[in-house]
Amino acid sequence: QSVLTQPPSVSGAPGQRVTISCTGSSSNIGATYDVHWYQQLPGTAPKLLIYGNNNRPSGVPDRFSGSKSGTSASLAISGLQAEDEADYYCQSYDSRLSGVVFGGGTKLTVL
Amino acid sequence: EVQLLESGGGLVQPGGSLRLSCAASGFIFGSYAMTWVRQAPGKGLEWVSDISSSGGGTYYADSVKGRFTISRDNSKNMLYLQMNSLRADDTAVYYCAKPFDIVSTEPLGPWGQGTLVTVSS
């Protein structure tokens, strides 16, 4: 059972917009700790996609965006492309556990 | 270009030990904290351990505390994870990861390619 809760799967057709939620609690996201998002393509290591709630590292397309409110955060992907098919993980810090915490991951399927 | 190359994984019996290594290049290794994260087969990501840039501060997930030891050799640009009293649920791909910036341990990026540890009799 992950500390941060994500939907196991989401799907969308090419060109559509999808969102992935990440729900935490008062000891992590709600405690104003930043949320970060990672993309893991099949058979590869995770890659940083969004940092500090809504910032993109160099090279990440602006189709990817993040937001945070209260004890939850969201990753939005617009203009869905086949290459976006991957697992997506949210991550924050938990003061009660004194460590980094991840969401359980969401598998994005491009129909 | 930042490169992180893990090694040392393999098959080990329950109760056994293994030492993972991560060779770092392309950045000033001694200026950054470093992290180990693992991923059990078909499962999600789990933070394992952090170490400060000097090595003086170490932090562990409850699931590995007392069994795993993180260390580093800044003169060799190497990160290590000594794993003792291994259990079946330690089976995972182990990734080393560098913080995205110098001032914090997270977010993480880039990551190494990972090394597989299998605990089985």
CA angle at B78 for the pair B77 and B83, rounded to the nearest 5°: 165
pLDDT surpasses 90 at A35: yes
Which of A86, A98, A37 minimizes the C-alpha distance to A66? A37
pLDDT surpasses 90 at B102: no
pLDDT surpasses 90 at B104: no
CA angle at B102 for the pair B31 and B77, rounded to the nearest 5°: 30
Distance CA B61, CA B46 (A): 9
Mean of the per-residue pLDDT values for chain A?
96
**Do the Cβ atoms of A7 and A106 come closer than 8 Å?**
yes
pLDDT surpasses 90 at A1: no
For residue B110, list chain A residues with Cβ-Cβ distance below 8 A.
45, 47-48
Q: Which two tokens stand for residue B86?
A: 């291994």
Q: Which two tokens stand for residue B31?
A: 């200026």
Answer yes or no: do A52 and B112 touch at CB < 8 A: no
- Provide the percentage of residues in chain A whose pLDDT is more than 70: 100
For residue B60, list chain A residues with Cβ-Cβ distance below 8 A.
99
Render pLDDT for B52-78 as a digit per residue (tens, 0 to 9): 999 999 999 999 999 999 999 999 999
For residue B108, list chain A residues with Cβ-Cβ distance below 8 A.
36, 38, 46, 48, 91
Beta bridge partners of B68: B83
Tell me the average pLDDT across A45-54. 96
Nearest to A48 among B45, B60, B100 (CB): B100
Which of B105, B118, B52, B45 minimizes the C-alpha distance to A47? B45
**Do the Cβ atoms of A106 and A8 come closer than 8 Å?**
yes
